[in-house]
Structure 1
Amino acid sequence: MKSRQTTQNWLYCTLVGVLGLYASTYDAMVDRMTARFLLDARMIGILMSVYAAGSLTSVLLSGMLSDSIGKRRVVLSGGAVLTLGVSLVATAGSVPLLMAGLFLAGMGFGPCESIGSALLTDENPGGETRWMNISQIFFGAGAIAAPVAAVWYASLPGRSYSSALFVCAGAVFLCWLAILSTSRGRLSKPEGVKRELNLFGVLKNREFLLYAVMVCVYLCYEALAPAYFKQLFLLRGASEQTAGLAISIFWAAMIVFRFVGVFMDGKELFCIRWFTPMIILGVAVLLLAKSDGVRLIGAALFGFGCGPVWPMLYVLAARLFPDRSGAAFAMMMLFTMAGKTASPALFGTLVNNVPVTIGLCAALAALLTGCAWYASKRYAPGASALAAR
């Protein structure tokens, strides 16, 4: 039984890794999508927001249902929708079909990430932090490999961004098939649980609400970073390969600090307080550097600052509601996707100035740092476990 559970854990981590592969491929290819349909470059932010809106919608639905019908069912449904959506994006011959595919891809992505993470915490009591960080390390590993590989693959004769997306769709499908084949006897509805559908009830807890707002702020700048890093490098005269390398370095730096997170149980707010300011330094280097090499260091610093935030905030939130992990993770993901949905359009498309957009990321990072210091003062160590009500 333990061996079977371990197999399931690694399969879910692999699925999260494939999500990282797809997310980063999408970031690297979104400008090619606009070029294919002769859209203005400002439409990059709109496409990103359509995709994020799909995730926002699905997280709301999956959070309401996962604790009552079973998280494994929700994750498998999300995987199937994600495969369909990515395939539609790859084959779209018109802007409406492209938008529909992006929305469906977001619909599948949301529950795979949020409810899959909740499932890992439920099924590994005592090892939640370990598996949460491992899954996010997988996500980062997929994201690291994708940008340079996708740009290279799409540049081959007879290939395009569609070919790279088909590879992602196939990887999602294989994970879905493997998880389904090892889930026999584990797809029934959970017994002995309260059929609570109102996931917004968790927001009555003020500490949880603070963490939800913090993760929203975090996603505002994390959502912008990869795509706008690429635009900044191209604006400064770098090659597309170098611009893609900047995205990979960003994710590589992030994954390094998520390794650190495996050993920082109980020090989550400490990590957020002291690592997030690296983003401000990274932005300064990105904007002021005179060479691509130094500018790549700025991308790394930005990634270091992002590394601990997402998993740490989710761990803090999960500890508040151990009996409603599906609702807690879904609400956190709802705030996550709210930031990801609004940010590209508000700070990207409307600003319409790449350096200013990246500068705003530093301001958002400063806001998050302030929130972490407030949380440390307001909620004493150990208070999280007593705060659920």
Structure 2
Amino acid sequence: MFVVTGRIWSTGGGVSTAAVTAPAKTRRTPGTLRYALILGGLSAFAPLSIDMYLPALPRMADDLHSSAPTLQLTLTAFIIGLALGQLIAGPLSDSLGRRRPLLAGLVLYAVASVLCAVSPTAELLIAGRSVQALGAAAGMVIARACVRDLFAGTAMTKFFSMLMLVSGLAPILAPVIGGQVLRLTSWRGVFVVLAVFGAVLLVAAALVMPETLPADRRRPARIGSTLRGYGVLLRDRSFVGYALSAGLMFAGLFAYISASSFVLQDVYGLSPQEYSLVFGANGLGIVIAGQVNGRIVGRVRERTLLTVGLSASAAGGAGVLAAALAGLPLGVLLAPLLVMVSSIGLVMPNASSLALAEHPHNAGAASALLGVMQFAVGGLATPLVSIGGEASAVPMGVVMAASAVVALVVFGTLTRQRTR
């Protein structure tokens, strides 16, 4: 990254219009793996915090003398807290800078994880998960905002693709780590591991991460200005199009995560070990697609890659639905399922980069709204899948196909091609 006539030019070819007034000494390019590991770890908070403890829910119900529906509220509380936390942390980081809200969020996450580990009742556990989600939200939303502060154009997309290598492994490793922890200790040990994870990221961020938002680019923390900022974002057709496309892709992914265990084991007869292999292969597909995206972006435009990813997702979703409706063998179902899930690795880096590109001066709020749309729209998939029951792959196929096709339509309708 170097300075030419007052502008910061990214080595990836993009121009950071946000950096026109920022002194060069305030901007550092995180070209090392350690920055990607920290920001990727922050992006992995949600899958780790959700997937690691799910196998322990039956034990938790017995230990806390509670019902399964009550324990499932711990997941609902976390998702709601994650959405609300992003709406708060994003604008706050636009006002105070990135470091202070980030470090405060990591402290909150680590402390809340310890409180979850020692909770004597389900009600206290639900409260602890809500607080834990607020800390996780700060890490996730500020990680995206930091990338927007530091990069522009294809360089930003390349770095988002690099983050996929770290955050994409989280859904693969979380169930494995959770299972191994449960072999050694109780469900409380899962939250101890999460507390340690948060503490390690806290130390790493405090020692390594610089402040990426100079003081002269910060915005006053006022409710009115925050709401106006969200209004500007919601009136931007392109931003809404990219964010909704990403959210609909999350809906397809959530449908897969929530239903695939029942579909592949109960309907198609896979053992838990075989299911883990399929789940891991699909997760690896996300990582590989993300790394391919990072290699070719710059030679191929982000919008083109996003179009390819959304089209592949729609084709894969349609294939899953067709295989389910026709009752075709498992191998026929798994091929389009791999295509559908792997396309996340193409869609998310490009959708995130394009959504944030035009909003450098309120990157925190834009990152927050992007995350909220992903989890709000994506969270609708779980109840939709459950409506159709667990004895067929058709409900999963319907939700996956519909979300992918609608994502492609939304992208084509709301977004517009801009000349870089």
Q: Are 2:358 and 1:320 equivalent residues in the alignment?
A: yes
* Cα separation, 2, equivalents of 1:37 and 1:210: 41
Note closer, same or farther for the CA distance 1:130–1:66 as it changes in structure 2 (3 Å cut).
same
* Cα separation, 2, equivalents of 1:181 and 1:361: 42
Q: Pick from 362, 371, 374 the counterpart of residue 410 of structure 2.
A: 371
CA distances 1:88-124 after superposition (whole Å, capped 9, x unpaired): 3344332212212322232122221122111122123
Q: Identity of aligned pairs, percent?
A: 19
CA distances 1:270-324 after superposition (whole Å, capped 9, x unpaired): 2333221223324555784545x66654542332132222222111111221222
Q: Pick from 230, 241, 259 the counterpart of residue 291 of structure 2.
A: 259
* Cα separation, 1, equivalents of 2:93 and 2:26: 23
CA distances 1:6-30 after superposition (whole Å, capped 9, x unpaired): 3787335334236537615632532
Shift of 1:53: 0.2
* Cα separation, 1, equivalents of 2:380 and 2:307: 28
Note closer, same or farther for the CA distance 1:284–1:2 as it changes in structure 2 (3 Å cut).
farther
Note closer, same or farther for the CA distance 1:105–1:250 as it changes in structure 2 (3 Å cut).
farther
Q: Are 2:180 and 1:166 equivalent residues in the alignment?
A: no
Structure-to-structure mapping, 1:108-257, within 5 angstroms: 108-125=135-152, 127-154=155-182, 156=183, 158-183=184-209, 186=211, 190-195=215-220, 196-198=225-227, 199-200=229-230, 201-236=232-267, 237-257=269-289
* Cα separation, 1, equivalents of 2:401 and 2:218: 43
Q: Pick from 264, 267, 272 the counterpart of residue 309 of structure 2.
A: 272
Shift of 1:369: 2.1
Note closer, same or farther for the CA distance 1:169–1:101 as it changes in structure 2 (3 Å cut).
same
Note closer, same or farther for the CA distance 1:223–1:81 as it changes in structure 2 (3 Å cut).
farther
Note closer, same or farther for the CA distance 1:65–1:306 as it changes in structure 2 (3 Å cut).
same
Structure-to-structure mapping, 1:64-79, within 5 angstroms: 64-79=91-106
Partner of 2:119: 92
Note closer, same or farther for the CA distance 1:271–1:10 as it changes in structure 2 (3 Å cut).
farther
* Cα separation, 2, equivalents of 1:243 and 1:382: 43
The range that moved more, 80-89 or 101-110, is 80-89
Note closer, same or farther for the CA distance 1:299–1:347 as it changes in structure 2 (3 Å cut).
same
Partner of 1:303: 341
Partner of 2:15: none
Note closer, same or farther for the CA distance 1:209–1:294 as it changes in structure 2 (3 Å cut).
closer
Greater Rg by CA: 2
* Cα separation, 1, equivalents of 2:280 and 2:219: 43
Shift of 1:258: 0.9
Note closer, same or farther for the CA distance 1:302–1:35 as it changes in structure 2 (3 Å cut).
farther
Contact 1:281–1:301 (Cα < 8 Å) also in 2: no
Shift of 1:210: 2.0
Structure-to-structure mapping, 1:3-22, within 5 angstroms: 5-6=29-30, 10-11=34-35, 13-17=37-41, 19-20=43-44
* Cα separation, 2, equivalents of 1:174 and 1:28: 17
Shift of 1:59: 0.7
CA distances 1:201-221 after superposition (whole Å, capped 9, x unpaired): 211212212223222322222
Contact 1:289–1:295 (Cα < 8 Å) also in 2: yes
Partner of 1:347: 384
* Cα separation, 2, equivalents of 1:226 and 1:44: 18
* Cα separation, 2, equivalents of 1:101 and 1:33: 16
Q: Which amino acid aligns with 1:75?
A: L
The range that moved more, 301-310 or 114-123, is 301-310
Q: Are 2:62 and 1:26 equivalent residues in the alignment?
A: no
Contact 1:284–1:298 (Cα < 8 Å) also in 2: no
Q: Which amino acid aligns with 2:418?
A: G
Note closer, same or farther for the CA distance 1:80–1:248 as it changes in structure 2 (3 Å cut).
farther
Q: Which amino acid aligns with 2:90?
A: G
Partner of 2:85: 58
RMSD: 3.2
Note closer, same or farther for the CA distance 1:188–1:119 as it changes in structure 2 (3 Å cut).
closer
Contact 1:151–1:244 (Cα < 8 Å) also in 2: no
Contact 1:73–1:187 (Cα < 8 Å) also in 2: no
Secondary structure of the structure 2 residue equivalent to 1:307: helix
* Cα separation, 2, equivalents of 1:124 and 1:9: 15
TM-score after normalising by structure 2: 0.78
TM-score after normalising by structure 1: 0.83
How many positions carry a matched residue from both structures?
Answer: 376
Note closer, same or farther for the CA distance 1:325–1:19 as it changes in structure 2 (3 Å cut).
closer
The range that moved more, 268-277 or 72-81, is 268-277
Secondary structure of the structure 2 residue equivalent to 1:276: helix
* Cα separation, 1, equivalents of 2:42 and 2:150: 21
* Cα separation, 2, equivalents of 1:29 and 1:364: 27
Structure 2 unpaired stretches of 5+: 1-24
Note closer, same or farther for the CA distance 1:188–1:316 as it changes in structure 2 (3 Å cut).
closer
Structure 1 unpaired stretches of 5+: none
Contact 2:261–2:275 (Cα < 8 Å) also in 1: yes
CA distances 1:214-271 after superposition (whole Å, capped 9, x unpaired): 2232222222322322232332343333333333222111111111221234324323
Shift of 1:58: 0.5
